[in-house]
């Protein structure tokens, strides 16, 4: 890795089940002392032996999102530029639930408007955290489908979703991943007590970079995001583009894709409102079921 710009976006559709991302960092010094330095939990040994929620420590104030979170698998170490926490209980569903919450526009809005640059554990603990909400299983399922893309996450999937893992059950192309994030925005808004108008106002006024990408992005009939050069040609010439002009080789996987008509863009506000209406009804149904019990 030459510098911070020396990277290529992964082709998630062609990602092998046993894929392990590269790293430019390796531990130095005595490995036993290094391992000893990791803290232990009360129920399962070293923190490094568990799935952990991790987030970028520095707030990204100029990008699409301010808060960048993920789940890192057992055995993974990281630099001080990340922070990570493990679940205090053996059930890992809370880790996936928090990933969903942290991946939402409402949570990002709280971070963005706090004007805090260093996202320490003490700051993160001040963020809204829905507890035992009726919509939590729906949020956990979408978070799992976004993150559990390889064999490394099989046991996380199977211990929380309670069904066998396979690559086909996860979200891999850009269209399905975008749709899942829109649904997560609606779910977390409901969990935080925000209405659809408030969610859309937050998006419209506080996320200009994300909104700009949403206005420009096009997706083909298979849900694949159209690459920039093909997007530009299409806006000039429409559906007169030949198959060759719609063919593109992914720089990471070297897989060749043909982007199929029709191309379409999406209105995120409209999609969030539709998702909100759907989950609002689902929540009402679940609440009614609880009253019957």
Mind listing the pLDDT tens digit for each residue in 155-207?
A: 999 999 999 999 999 999 999 999 999 999 999 999 999 999 999 999 999 99
**Domain assignment of residue 114, yes or no:** yes
Q: Give the range of the structural domain holding residue 181, as residue numbers without chain letter.
A: 45-206
Asked if the model's pLDDT at residue 70 lies above 90, the reply is yes
Asked if the model's pLDDT at residue 48 lies above 70, the reply is yes
What is the reported pTM?
0.93
**Domain assignment of residue 91, yes or no:** yes
**Domain assignment of residue 73, yes or no:** yes
Identify the H or E element spanning 257.
Answer: strand 256-258
Where are any strands of DSSP class E within 147-246? none
Cβ atoms of residues 88 and 169 within 8 Å = no
Please give the Cα distance from 29 to 239 (Å, whole number).
Answer: 59
**Domain assignment of residue 261, yes or no:** no
- Give me the numbers of helices (H) and strands (E) for the chain, helices first please: 11, 7
**Domain assignment of residue 293, yes or no:** no
**Domain assignment of residue 170, yes or no:** yes
- How many domains are contained in the chain? 1
Phi, psi of 85 (to 5 degrees): -140, 150
**Domain assignment of residue 255, yes or no:** no
**b or e along 108-121 (b: 16 or more beta carbons within 10 Å of the residue's beta carbon)?**
bbbbbeeeeeebee
Average pLDDT over all residues of the chain: 92
Please give the Cα distance from 213 to 208 (Å, whole number).
Answer: 9
**Domain assignment of residue 277, yes or no:** no
The arrangement of strands across the sheet holding 52-56 comes to: 69-72, 52-56, 82-86
């Amino acid at each position: 890795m030459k510098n911070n710009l020396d990277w290529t976006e992964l082709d998630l559709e062609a990602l092998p089940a046993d894929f392990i991302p590269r790293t430019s960092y390796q531990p130095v010094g005595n490995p036993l002392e290094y391992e000893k330095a990791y803290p232990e939990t009360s129920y399962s040994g070293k923190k490094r032996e568990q799935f952990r929620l991790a987030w970028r420590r520095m707030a990204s104030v100029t990008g699409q999102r301010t808060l960048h979170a993920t789940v890192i698998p057992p055995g993974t170490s990281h630099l001080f530029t990340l922070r990570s926490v493990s679940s205090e209980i053996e059930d890992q569903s809370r880790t996936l639930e928090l990933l969903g919450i942290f991946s939402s526009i409402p949570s990002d809005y709280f971070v963005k408007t706090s004007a805090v640059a260093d996202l320490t554990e003490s700051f993160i603990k001040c963020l809204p955290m829905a507890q035992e909400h009726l919509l939590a299983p729906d949020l956990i399922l979408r978070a799992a489908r976004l993150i559990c893309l390889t064999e490394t996450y099989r046991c996380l999937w199977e211990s929380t979703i309670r069904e066998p893992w396979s690559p086909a059950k996860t979200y891999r192309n850009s269209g399905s991943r975008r749709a899942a994030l829109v649904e997560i925005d609606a779910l977390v808004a409901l969990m935080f007590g925000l209405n659809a108008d408030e969610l859309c106002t937050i998006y419209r006024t506080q996320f200009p970079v994300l909104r700009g990408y949403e206005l420009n992005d096009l997706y083909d009939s298979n849900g694949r995001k159209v690459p920039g050069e093909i997007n530009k040609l299409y806006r000039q010439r429409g559906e007169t583009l030949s198959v060759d002009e719609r063919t593109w080789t992914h720089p990471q996987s070297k897989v060749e894709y043909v982007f199929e008509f029709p191309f379409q863009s999406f209105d995120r506000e409209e999609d969030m409102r539709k998702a909100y209406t759907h989950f609002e009804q689902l929540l009402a149904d679940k609440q009614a079921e609880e009253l019957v019990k």
